[in-house]
Structure 1
């Protein structure tokens, strides 16, 4: 790409980090977000706030969409003041959401009819890695789309995996990652809950497990939230209701059994309907009966 203008749609935990990383790496970053003031706050530190995805598309040859799901992606592209109508032929749309792979394949075809390149590019790593440029991207795209997007992709992430020559492969790998992430969080919560039920000191259990063979990245990261009694949503319970649902839908299409993913999905569903939908996904531990969870220490926020 010759222009240094790049647009970022969605300034949530990941999108804001991506926008800051691109700005740090020398791009002229244009942003928009449905929340009043979010784009202006970014622009005050350098960058351009746009009122709509359409305004963003008119200014930038490459757009990076970092919204929650397929429905929001549809809205930013084809809704009122959507980007698709304003994107000239040769523009490129990088889609970073976790979605049904078949939906992503169909979106590539829809944008191709408008002469727009498409990169299927789900992301992983969390807000901190997005902000430091160290997140992982699982991408697949046609060669022309990669040619247009490579400079932006490499500036956004520490690892950019190029997994295929068309949409779908990136989203398939991402939902497999989410299968493992969801099952690991559910298993971590189950293990910590058993320890609490049996009267084991929670901090001691955490110390032992994180230095033993039973540890996982998710146990180490999420059970720290439980110990701190901090369920501020870095990734909410309902994200895994959605993502494990996508996993199961994909497997169901070919009658492929996923017993562990199914159980984890039910656990997150139970947590959601119990009132913890918007809490951090570690709040899945709250579904277990007869345990006393750690409380915030005196003086903690």
Structure 2
């Protein structure tokens, strides 16, 4: 592989698009694809735009996949119309950056056996703003040689990209723990702001003051701010993501026999928000879900 690898980028959503843009800004050649034409066109100023996923992948060194769900990952790899598995070679490194859970990554590894054994599992944390500045946390699982091959990509996207295990799937396990904390923290922030409001407090002051003390957290500062502004349609992270991710958390916990009562309670809150029709609104909408009861 070349020192500066060519990258096929599949998935230009709220996080994927700024990541692809940051990668191109760091000087890596990027060929991008998304199922939505508008998402592709928005990257045309910095990347080569492909008409299909297979076209994007053909001849590139690294194939980075940034989709939302295990089902979407399966479709990208093995979809009847545009699955990319047939374009992968022994020299291609598949870089799975989606949060899809260890089972989905391990299934992908198994299905690609004999096609490509070079797979790196690298889910991310940090949100769209940090994605745009290459300041993400990336939790990396994979063989040493494969990780070395994608290191220029990781370095362009992350402030911190530690190797957390030698196998694809280890990054997903780390991300499961990350999402447990994030999901519970968002729910706690919503509960705190809702309680403050119900007690007649000035929620702006509550947010400002408590962020200077021991109650401070990234999620209380970030999502709490959006809760105070009631900016639920300024979607930085859609509620549906945490409906999916907290499901991955509770599934992983069940597999190893670990009780996760706080995660289970948070999962119920996100599911309630989904039932109320808030899937595509910002996940800070949990304040309203608690208000609506």
Structure 1 residue 37 displacement after superposition: 3.0
Determine if contact 2:5/2:152 at 8 Å carries over to the other structure. no
Question: What do residues 91-128 of structure 1 show as CA deviations (whole Å, max 9, x unaligned)?
Answer: 01111111221221232232232034111110011111
Q: Structure 2: give runs of 5+ residues left out of the alignment.
A: none
Select 1:249's aligned residue among 243, 248, 251: 251
Distance 1:273 1:290, change over 3 A: closer
In the superposition, the TM-score normalised over structure 1's length comes to 0.92
**1:78 lines up with 2:112 in the alignment:** no
- Partner SS state of residue 161, structure 2: strand
Distance 1:274 1:41, change over 3 A: closer
Select 1:273's aligned residue among 275, 279, 290: 275
Distance 1:290 1:250, change over 3 A: closer
- Partner SS state of residue 165, structure 2: coil
Question: What do residues 50-69 of structure 1 show as CA deviations (whole Å, max 9, x unaligned)?
Answer: 01111111131211111101
1:126-275 matches, cutoff 5 A: 126-231=127-232, 232-275=234-277
Give distance in 1, aligned partners of 2:184 and 2:176.
12
In the superposition, the TM-score normalised over structure 2's length comes to 0.95
Question: What do residues 163-208 of structure 1 show as CA deviations (whole Å, max 9, x unaligned)?
Answer: 1111121000101100000000101110111110010011111111
- Partner SS state of residue 63, structure 1: strand
Q: Which runs of 4+ in 1 moved over 6 A?
A: none
Give distance in 1, aligned partners of 2:264 and 2:249.
9
What is aligned with 2:35? 34
Determine if contact 2:22/2:133 at 8 Å carries over to the other structure. yes
Q: Structure 1: give runs of 5+ residues left out of the alignment.
A: 292-301
- Partner SS state of residue 140, structure 2: strand
Distance 1:83 1:116, change over 3 A: farther
What is aligned with 2:289? 287
Distance 1:34 1:164, change over 3 A: same
What is aligned with 2:24? 23
Determine if contact 1:111/1:118 at 8 Å carries over to the other structure. no
Aligned residues between the structures: 290
